[in-house]
Amino acid sequence: MARPTLRWQFARSPGLLYGLAATFCAIALGLALLAQRYDFLDMEAPLFLLAIALTVWYMGIGPAILAVVLSSLAFDYFFTEPRYSFYITRAELPHYAVFILFAVLVSWFSEVRHRAEQKLLQSRDELQMEVVKRTEQASLLNLTHDTIFVRDMSDIITYWNRGAEELYGWPAEDAIGKHSQQLLRTDFPIPIEEVRAELLRAGRWEGELRKTKADGSEVVVASRWSLRKDDQGRAVAILETNNDITEHRRREQEIQSLNQELVHRSADLEAINKELEAFAYSVSHDLRAPLRHMAGYTELLQKKTSSVLDEKGNHFIAMILDAAKRMGNLIDDLLAFSRIGRAETQNGRVNMDQVVKEALTQVRQETEGRKIAWKIGALPDFYGDASMLRLVLVNLISNAIKFTRTRTQAEIEIGGSEGNGDDVVVFVRDNGVGFDMKYVNKLFGVFQRLHQSEEFEGTGIGLATVQRIIHRHGGKVWAEGAVDGGATFYFSAPRPRGELWRP
């Protein structure tokens, strides 16, 4: 920033300055001679002094010395007796000496005065600069959304930014001059003496405070205090920055209470699971025992009476045994189904090509005497439990084998595809009897069957098991089919993390 100066700007070159000094003296001389000519007495000394004063004021001490010298010589030559000679009479000497003394004094005072003024101007400039700087800083502080205010060591607010106004509701003019703790009704988590001690010791303090807004509502703020010290190291002010974390705290509390609820519910669930387990155990034990007895005694009866019973009687006994056997199967399936929900899973990368191979080995018995064209494509790897996924495939393949029984040439295709997001899909397709899409929702229910048991045997637990396993994997099952047009069963499950699958 250009600093204003009393000295002429154009007179920077010393030659010009000295020239001007000489010119001032010449003008003063000219005017003095003119005055003398018109009988204005004793004008020469003031005029020369004026020239010297102007010179020292505007051109500094160097040209002033020249002006003093020139004025003295001119005064001597033109205005002291004998005139037009540099000789000075004894009588004129004091007069001349006084003149020179005056000239020097004028120069000296003028210079001192000039310096003082210069200094004053300079400090005024500096003050102005400081004001500008501070104003800029203050307006920058106003720009931020953070709440910032400054208070002196007796907690009287001296600065209050826009963020503070927005958060607490008081405009700067209302807040400044107030006691901050009283205005904001600050609630400290620890005694304020400790806060102060920490602030004075470390120069800063951080903590969570509860304050009250102008409208009376409470806010929780993350508060940071910084101590400002002067050049002598004395603490003069505290800058406090506050961030409103009321919402944050509220959410945290919400999360905490949700977590608690979750823990609670988990415990409930665990209890329910335990109950279910006890129930399944009891079913396994207590339901099977009477069944076994019924079957046992019926067989004994059959053995003892088959020779005396007629065909109908024997048929009835056979039906009782058949029903007992079926109920036994149902109980076993139901238990197996309930175990899926309770079983511990061992999740990891599952090579589905391998799983399909194993599943096919497991169902080989069911394909005996059948003509089946297998079409097995490349399958994606899954993330899950291998033995459970094998059970899924065994069920689906077994179904495909069962429901293509009426075909002379059965076709079963197993393939994979990319699913949504992190899922990959495997499907099992057959050209069997299919199903009516109307009943697609019933397919995966427990003990739901779409065929008469004389047609196709089964308890109706297979697809429910498939669904349960896939749901445990976080995947989906769905099916497409048409009556007599074959069926396709799809299931999706997560791929191993961070992998893409391309067939």
The binder of other proteins chosen from 45, 47, 67, 324 (CB under 8 A): 324
- CB 288 → other proteins: shortest distance, Å? 5
Written as one letter, the residue type at 473 is H
- CB 298 → other proteins: shortest distance, Å? 8
CA distance 24 to 57: 12
Q: For residue 478, what are the β-bridge partners?
A: 490
CA distance 245 to 260: 22
- Of 295 and 440, the one with the shorter C-beta distance to other proteins is 295
- CB 424 → other proteins: shortest distance, Å? 31
Residues 228/237, Cβ–Cβ less than 8 Å: yes
> In this structure, what are the phi and psi dihedrals at residue 201, rounded to the nearest 5 degrees?
-75, -50
Token pair listed for 410: 């059965």
- Of 324 and 396, the one with the shorter C-beta distance to other proteins is 324
- Of 223 and 338, the one with the shorter C-beta distance to other proteins is 338
- CB 343 → other proteins: shortest distance, Å? 9
CA distance 33 to 26: 10
Count of residues touching other proteins (by CB under 8 A): 23
- Here's the x/- map for other proteins, 264-303, by CB under 8 A: it reads as ----------------xx--xxx-xx-xxx-xxxxxx---
Token pair listed for 496: 């191993």
Establish if 309 lies at the interface with other proteins (CB under 8 A): no
CA distance 317 to 311: 10
CA distance 180 to 203: 19
- Of 265 and 326, the one with the shorter C-beta distance to other proteins is 326
- Of 250 and 292, the one with the shorter C-beta distance to other proteins is 292
- Of 291 and 483, the one with the shorter C-beta distance to other proteins is 291
- CB 491 → other proteins: shortest distance, Å? 25
- Of 97 and 276, the one with the shorter C-beta distance to other proteins is 276
- CB 421 → other proteins: shortest distance, Å? 35
Establish if 370 lies at the interface with other proteins (CB under 8 A): no
Residues 60/7, Cβ–Cβ less than 8 Å: yes
Establish if 367 lies at the interface with other proteins (CB under 8 A): no
Three-state secondary structure of 23-87: HHHHHHHHHHHHHHHCCCCCCHHHHHHHHHHHHHHHHCHHHHHHHHHHHHHHHHHHHCCCCCCCC
Helix orientation angle between 61-74 and 93-143, rounded to the nearest 10 degrees: 160
- Of 281 and 374, the one with the shorter C-beta distance to other proteins is 281
Establish if 366 lies at the interface with other proteins (CB under 8 A): no
Span from 127-135, 323-331, 400-408, 426-434 in contact with other proteins (CB under 8 A): 323-331
> In this structure, what are the phi and psi dihedrals at residue 223, rounded to the nearest 5 degrees?
-110, 130
- CB 296 → other proteins: shortest distance, Å? 4
Give the E-state strand segments of 265-418 in sequence order.
347-350, 372-376, 382-385, 410-418
Helix orientation angle between 44-59 and 93-143, rounded to the nearest 10 degrees: 30
- Here's the x/- map for other proteins, 157-196, by CB under 8 A: it reads as ----------------------------------------
The binder of other proteins chosen from 83, 145, 250, 325 (CB under 8 A): 325
Establish if 335 lies at the interface with other proteins (CB under 8 A): yes
- Of 152 and 332, the one with the shorter C-beta distance to other proteins is 332
> In this structure, what are the phi and psi dihedrals at residue 90, rounded to the nearest 5 degrees?
-55, -40
Establish if 132 lies at the interface with other proteins (CB under 8 A): no
Tell which residue, 317, 339, 335, has the closest CA to residue 327.
335
Window 197 to 236, contacts with other proteins (CB under 8 A): none
- CB 209 → other proteins: shortest distance, Å? 56
Q: Where are the alpha helices (DSSP H) in 151-245?
A: 162-168, 172-175, 180-184, 192-202
> In this structure, what are the phi and psi dihedrals at residue 488, rounded to the nearest 5 degrees?
-125, 125
CA distance 380 to 495: 8
Residues near other proteins (CB under 8 A): 280-281, 284-286, 288-289, 291-293, 295-300, 324-325, 327-328, 332, 335, 339
